Amino acid sequence: MQALPHYPLFIDGQWTEGASGQVMASQNPATGEDWASFACAAPQDVERAVAAARRALDDPDWRDLTQTQRGKLLYRLAELIERDAQEIGRIETTDSGKLLAETASQSAYVGDYYRYYAGLADKIEGAVLPIDKPDMHVFTRREPIGVVAAIVPWNAQMFLTATKLGPALAAGCTVVLKASEIAPAPMLEFARLIEEAGFPKGVVSVITGDAENCAIPLTRHPDIDRIAFTGGPETARHVVRNSAENFAVTTLELGGKSPILVFDDADIDGAANGLIAGNFGASGQSCVAGSRGLIHRPIFEALVARITEKMEQVVIGDPLEGETHIGPLCTAAQIDKIKATLAASVEGGARIRFGGAPLERPGNYMAPTLVECSGPETATLKTEMFGPVMSLLPFDTEDEAIALANASDFGLGSGVFTQNVARAHRVSSRLKAGICWVNTYRAVSPIAPFGGYNQSGYGREAGIEAIHDYTRTKTTWISTSDKPMANPFVMR
């Protein structure tokens, strides 16, 4: 019998097993069978990774690189990612169940994120201040914030790593990357490219493990200066509490229940495609999933009919096959949560218009589901299920639509479908969300920042400003007078 692939930890430029010897198996969501194993970090391993990052921060091999030289390393990393995108995508698909078509193309595209920050590396500038005191030359410079703990979930690993690692390395920081203990293989595979690109030892370590032995020791470690976290609100609360131990600057990119508003003047086919992309892209396993469809009542039935027509053409199957549109969910626990939420919704008066049950086949397969909600309190409108469930609710007026959209604890993404440009501007400006797509959905770019309101977190990733979040400003005062400093006890 052939041995399963095994992934050790990558710490201080070395591949190593965890100090405790703990090993976990990773399941293929399409089959329900173990396909690989990986080493789990113990607190001693976290200590080693952070110590290596602290040492590398002051090592001349990293510290004395010019900003342009750091950018060249990032350019090299981008080339390697694009070279291996298909293989990384295959590993991610096997590990998480996401479609190969998405994982491979997403892996290739994140090369542009590293190139974007490579180009910004030597454009991190200070300023000379027009100070209000004579004989003083005062200037600022931006210096690396220090050691970064970057924590990413399993559902968009290469992308969410790029939005943290790119600006952190461009700014001159060092990073301990904590991959999810669910489906971490792509991140450990990615560590090989960090090594091949030529980053000095300790600049990036990649570890994984459970909360008690890995995440908690990392986020509360006294030598961590910055925490960049993507995940759920409950875990985020623990991260924030842990950061009280080290006062690390923290940003949170969390989940959402994003609304998509469709007005009666919208292109019906485009709106149907937007709702399908928002709900069934990545099998609904996306933090920006547009899982609340708010539909103008005059077109409600016509739009439901168009969506149903398209859903009947959806191919559910092996995520490694090119013809598959929807693959399995990453974990069986997601199926259980969806079933419970659907049951509560139906009990409250909701109507299942399509799907509504797991598929009778090996693996974690859930039928794409369309729910006509009975009102704004329907459970599927409130609960982030991380699966292919679309909840639809009619509205009568623009103000009602906006009120329904904003009636959420979350505020990450949003969408508006309308042919009226004035309405598009008016409505998008009133939506309480960090991102608003108009007549499209789920578009991203390294140039465009993203992040949320409310329980969707704080801080922004991507865009030019993100690089400043990995720096500190130092102000330097230089006296240009030939005279010695005056007696401080003589007041004038």
**Mean pLDDT computed over every residue of the chain:** 96
Label residue 492 by pLDDT band (50, 70, 90): low
| Interval 368-397 mean pLDDT | 96
In a domain, 103, yes or no: yes
Examine the domain organization and report whether 327 and 467 are in the same domain: no
Examine the domain organization and report whether 119 and 60 are in the same domain: yes
151's tokens: 């924590």
464's tokens: 């030019």
In a domain, 447, yes or no: no
Are 202 and 351 in contact by the 8 Å Cβ rule? The answer is no
Task: Tell me the C-alpha distance between 369 and 382, whole Å.
Answer: 16
Examine the domain organization and report whether 460 and 422 are in the same domain: no
Examine the domain organization and report whether 284 and 330 are in the same domain: yes
Task: Tell me the C-alpha distance between 41 and 22, whole Å.
Answer: 8
In a domain, 242, yes or no: yes
Give the distance, in angstroms, between the CA of residue 101 and the centroid of all CA atoms in the same chain: 19
Strand partners, 471: 144
Supply the range of the domain harboring residue 179: 6-254+452-476
Examine the domain organization and report whether 161 and 298 are in the same domain: no
Q: Is 234 left (phi over 0), alpha (psi -120 to 50) or beta?
A: alpha
Examine the domain organization and report whether 274 and 156 are in the same domain: no
Are 236 and 252 in contact by the 8 Å Cβ rule? The answer is yes
Q: What CATH number corresponds to the domain at position 323? A: 3.40.309.10
Examine the domain organization and report whether 411 and 460 are in the same domain: no
Q: Where are the alpha helices (DSSP H) in 198-290?
A: 216-219, 233-243, 268-280
489's tokens: 């006890």
Are 181 and 152 in contact by the 8 Å Cβ rule? The answer is no
pLDDT tens digits, one per residue of 323-371: 999 999 999 999 999 999 999 999 999 999 999 999 999 999 999 999 9
Task: Tell me the C-alpha distance between 284 and 81, whole Å.
Answer: 25
Place of tokens 């309405």: 423
Q: Which amino acid is at 430?
A: R
How many domains would you assign to the chain?
A: 2
In a domain, 47, yes or no: yes
Examine the domain organization and report whether 97 and 129 are in the same domain: yes
CB atoms within 10 A of CB 41: 33
Examine the domain organization and report whether 61 and 191 are in the same domain: yes
Task: Tell me the C-alpha distance between 186 and 52, whole Å.
Answer: 22
Label residue 2 by pLDDT band (50, 70, 90): low
Examine the domain organization and report whether 69 and 130 are in the same domain: yes
Rg, the chain, Cα only: 25
What's residue 394's pLDDT?
A: 98
416's tokens: 């508006």
Q: What is the DSSP string of 271-288?
A: HHHHHHHHHHGGGG--TT
What's residue 491's pLDDT?
A: 73
Task: Tell me the C-alpha distance between 258 and 278, whole Å.
Answer: 9
9: three-class secondary structure by DSSP: strand
Phi and psi at 213, nearest 5°, equal -95, -15
pLDDT tens digits, one per residue of 434-466: 999 999 999 999 999 999 999 999 999 999 999
Distances (CA, A) of 314 to 94, 174, 325, 327, 391: 21, 44, 6, 11, 18
253 as an active site residue: the answer is yes
In a domain, 486, yes or no: no
145's tokens: 């914030």
Q: What is the DSSP string of 338-388?
A: HHHHHHHHHHTT-EEEE--SB-SSSSS-B--EEEE-SSTT-HHHH----SS
Task: Tell me the C-alpha distance between 351 and 370, whole Å.
Answer: 9
82's tokens: 């694009």
In a domain, 12, yes or no: yes
Task: Tell me the C-alpha distance between 227 and 251, whole Å.
Answer: 6
Label residue 392 by pLDDT band (50, 70, 90): very high
191: three-class secondary structure by DSSP: helix
Say which DSSP state 491 is in: -
Residue 1, pLDDT above cutoff 70: no
Examine the domain organization and report whether 62 and 175 are in the same domain: yes
In a domain, 198, yes or no: yes
What's residue 3's pLDDT?
A: 82
Strand partners, 204: 175
Examine the domain organization and report whether 217 and 234 are in the same domain: yes
Task: Tell me the C-alpha distance between 240 and 16, whole Å.
Answer: 30
Catalytic residue among 102, 181, 189, 253: 253
Helix H or strand E encompassing 175: strand 174-179
In a domain, 488, yes or no: no
Residue 153, pLDDT above cutoff 70: yes
Q: Is the dihedral of CA 223, 225, 230, 232 positive or negative?
A: positive
436's tokens: 């608003």
Compute the C-alpha angle 195/200/206, nearest 5°: 50
Half-sphere exposure (Cβ direction) of 138: Cα atoms closer than 13 Å: 11
| Interval 208-213 mean pLDDT | 96
Task: Tell me the C-alpha distance between 271 and 47, whole Å.
Answer: 50
Label residue 482 by pLDDT band (50, 70, 90): very high
Give the distance, in angstroms, between the CA of residue 407 and the centroid of all CA atoms in the same chain: 23
Q: What CATH number corresponds to the domain at position 172? A: 3.40.605.10
